[in-house]
Amino acid sequence: MTALFEAACAKINLALHVRRRRPDGYHEIETIFAFAEDGDMLTAEPADRISLAIDGPFAAELGVSDDNLVLKAARGLAGARGCGASIRLSKNLPIASGVGGGSADAAAALRLLSRLWDVAIPGDLPASLGADVPACLLSRTAWAEGLGHPVTEIPKSGLAGMPLLLVNPMLPVSTAAVYRGWDTVDRGPLGRGAPLAAAQSGRNDLEPAALAIQPAIGGVLAALAAQDGVMLSRMSGSGATCFALFADERARDAAAAAIRGAHPGYWVLATRLR
């Protein structure tokens, strides 16, 4: 069998409302997930055992250790079957950046190895790997609540193909630290209408905590908001990546060029929503 390929598309939260902190320390949220056309890439081919190699622009920041989510996904899916695979992850997304890189990688590994081994993905496995993994497994525009799941696809979202710009100041932010910094104020539910309109009237409740930890996020948000043709700009997840949706690709590309010129140290990705 030749190698199989699977994309791990970057995740963004069009809006993210934090509703409460539970006694166990986890947070209940309401969010609209959307996904870019681009992201990391995984390949796999049959082998006697499970192994992982990592390359790509951000490979040096990600180690091949037992807590790597791709390996956890592979081992969880293999179970006691004795399945093996030689897996390669091309790491194109920044680490700890709010675009679901690790979760998207784990979800892509599940989809990839499910095809390679011809096995079904157990229903409880994705959520056991991480709160965003069920959404990343779907990798389509979706509504989620609770701990980030259950996930409900929004099949006619009207967002597919919309120009998207991702910008990160290349400063990692700890998701756990950002959630700890949330002020515990419930500012109300997220609308359930058309996803773009709901997002535009919504917010990301984690922005203040992320800004307190990494003030450079404010500069990214200001740079995006200042661009022509922006329909929505916001921080994604717990940061530090921020995004903007544009009316057309010309406006997006002009914004990408302007931000790259003004901030050569930023990571900038011009893409589209799936």
Q: Which pair of structure tokens corresponds to residue 153?
A: 């696809």
Pick the catalytic residue from 11, 38, 72, 105. Answer: 11
CB of 167 closer than 8 Å to CB of 267:
yes
Q: For residue 205, indicate whether it is catalytic.
A: no
CB of 198 closer than 8 Å to CB of 235:
no
Element (H, E) at 246: strand 242-246
CA distance 84 to 97: 30
Residue closest to 5 by CA, chosen among 88, 99, 104, 78: 88
Pick the catalytic residue from 24, 132, 156, 228. Answer: 132
Burial 116-142 (b: 16+ CB within 10 A, else e): bbeeebeeebbbebbbbbbbbbbbbbb
CA 136 to chain centre: 7
Q: For residue 91, indicate whether it is catalytic.
A: no
Q: Which residues are catalytic?
A: 11, 132
